Structure 1
Amino acid sequence: MARPGETDDRESRPARDTTTTITRTGTPGIGGITATGPGHPLPTPLLATNRVGQHVRVPKTAELVAAHLRRQIVRGELQEGDALPPEAVLMEQFGVSRPTLREAFRVLESEALISVRRGAHGGARVHTPNGDVAARYTALVLEHRHTTLADIHTAHTHLEPTAIRLLATTATDHTLTTLTAHLTATDHALTTPTPDPTDIHTRHLRFHTLLLDTTTNHTLTMITSMLRHILDATTPDTPTPIPDLPTLRHQHTTHHQLLTHLTQHDPDAAETLWRHHLTTTPHTPHQPTTPLDLLGE
């Protein structure tokens, strides 16, 4: 206790910093997470959200290995079909045991980022992120929620015309040339003595895919492609038959009309035409209460 008029040294000294420094105690070689001991704090924003006594989950070593490889795949450092180094090389690189490495592989396999073949001539090969994988999981969520085909189709017929509207304002000469070449090839297929309805129908589906692939908004393209994938993958009791040739010719005419609107950069006409086209195709569910069923009995 200081006497009157005096200053207590304890009060004048700065308070001791009692903040807990969270350090990364990882495995050498894993994506730069190699620090051990004090002096390597996590980024400030993360520290600021933690409180004294709050439980902090430390990632397992296998998760760190998986995160490092996942980062390389997503960032394009590893390409589709690339073979990962042998297990012995990766074990040395990451400084981990074989069970830990294989656990990391199982994590990446569950995300469809690699496929692993066992045996003397096996190994792990890279798969880049694929929208079909996301679509399959989305379909499971929708089926679990008892979603109907009409519900999915309604969402699709609202979103795809929006993508077409955007395409009408951003279509480049290269995009228009690609679409024109595809329709020209379909023209030739329709003028053969005996056009194959299945072939023409496949070409029409390809035209839909080309439209979405050339849209400049990747998010909108991903969502609409996922919905189309789900609709195409449904297994109703009576599959939608291939349209007859008069119907296919009418659809082809609509595709040419859309190309004209895209060439003229007319978003209103393009969106209106495509919305009507989608709502009048055989993909439209005739029973609004038909549930999504990808799993079957």
Structure 2
Amino acid sequence: MAELVVAQLRRQIIRGELNEGDALPSESELMERYGVSRPTLREAFRVLESESLINIRRGAHGGARVQTPTRRVAAKYASFMLEYRGVRLRDVYEARAAIEVPSVGKLARSRTRADVARLRDSLDRHAAAELEEPDLAIGLHGEFHTLLIELAGNGTLLLLSEMLQDIIDRGNASLHADTDLTEAQASSAAVRTHRRLFDHIVDRNVSEAETLWKRHLDESMVYLLGNNAAMTVLDLFD
């Protein structure tokens, strides 16, 4: 019975019938609606909370509130499987390239004026952050990668890309590059590469865009992993 309640509430959240921050009805109302006991309802709540779809607040003003799915949640479960299988962090970077390079070509082939405007805005915000907010610039760097997949128009690849990007962001924050480049130099070089890619996309130069992006991702992997090429996802999260 608890699973039936979970399925009903999960479906409402996924379909947007319940929005982020919405309070679920009281326990007594839900018990009556689904014809279940309080222990059964609370078991359903525990399942939904474990799936990060609700947040249980304790106390007089507590209750269950809706949380919408995020890429962080998806990445967490993907990470569990990658850790269990002993997958190398290098494999994650290579998987990102397998998704991003063809997507960049597709975007260069079919980009719209609106796509160009969004890419330009992302690049401008990244460049400004380089000067004033270096910590923010790291997040904007990953945002640009995700934006490329979003604009290419494949929702499944976007989700996979977001999951991989979350793992890579964690890796970027913990790995120390085995190179003479400083973080500032590497970041500035990345911004310049992003600008060149933007120009290729604007010019609809598919082959140059794909070649540039493949080289950029390969060089980024070498820079970030350094001597940690054999490092696994499990090592990263330990």
Q: TM-score, normalised by structure 1?
A: 0.70
RMSD: 2.5
Corresponding residue SS for 1:286: coil
For 2:111 and 2:69, the matched residues in 1 are separated by: 26
> Is 2:85 aligned against 1:145?
yes
Partner of 1:5: none
The structure whose RCO (Cα within 8 Å, separation 6+) is larger is 2
Partner of 1:26: none
For 2:24 and 2:167, the matched residues in 1 are separated by: 32
Q: Residues 122-137 of structure 1: matches in 2 within 5 Å?
A: 122-137=62-77
Deviation at 1:223, TM superposition (A): 1.2
Deviation at 1:198, TM superposition (A): 4.0
Partner of 2:140: 203
Deviation at 1:280, TM superposition (A): 0.8
Partner of 1:274: 213
Contact 1:170 1:216 survives alignment (8 Å): no
Q: Residues 256-295 of structure 1: matches in 2 within 5 Å?
A: 256-281=195-220, 282-292=223-233, 293-295=235-237
> Is 2:167 aligned against 1:230?
yes
Q: Residues 1-297 of structure 1: matches in 2 within 5 Å?
A: 61-188=1-128, 197-234=134-171, 238-240=175-177, 243-281=182-220, 282-292=223-233, 293-296=235-238
Contact 2:52 2:67 survives alignment (8 Å): yes
Change (3 A) 1:283 1:214: farther
Overall identity of the aligned pairs, in %: 42
Deviation at 1:239, TM superposition (A): 3.7
Change (3 A) 1:205 1:221: same
Summarize deviations over 1:20-60 as a string: whole Å, max 9, x none.
Answer: xxxxxxxxxxxxxxxxxxxxxxxxxxxxxxxxxxxxxxxxx
For 1:212 and 1:163, the matched residues in 2 are separated by: 6
Summarize deviations over 1:137-175 as a string: whole Å, max 9, x none.
Answer: 111111111111122222222222122222223332222
- Structure 1 gaps, min length 5: 1-60
For 2:174 and 2:39, the matched residues in 1 are separated by: 45
For 2:182 and 2:135, the matched residues in 1 are separated by: 8
Deviation at 1:180, TM superposition (A): 0.8
Larger Rg: 1
For 2:226 and 2:150, the matched residues in 1 are separated by: 25
Task: Between 102-111 and 211-220, report the one with greater CA deviation.
Answer: 211-220
For 2:69 and 2:175, the matched residues in 1 are separated by: 33
Q: Which runs of 4+ in 1 moved over 6 A?
A: none
Change (3 A) 1:75 1:237: closer
Change (3 A) 1:128 1:270: same
Deviation at 1:278, TM superposition (A): 0.8
Change (3 A) 1:65 1:201: closer
Deviation at 1:252, TM superposition (A): 1.5
Summarize deviations over 1:200-242 as a string: whole Å, max 9, x none.
Answer: 4443233223323333101111112211211222489754599
For 1:290 and 1:277, the matched residues in 2 are separated by: 21
Q: TM-score, normalised by structure 2?
A: 0.86
For 1:189 and 1:98, the matched residues in 2 are separated by: 51
Q: Name the one with the larger helix percent.
A: 2
Summarize deviations over 1:166-202 as a string: whole Å, max 9, x none.
Answer: 2223332222111112223444556x6xx66445444
Deviation at 1:124, TM superposition (A): 0.8
Contact 1:201 1:243 survives alignment (8 Å): no
Q: Which amino acid aligns with 1:283?
A: L
- Structure 2 gaps, min length 5: none
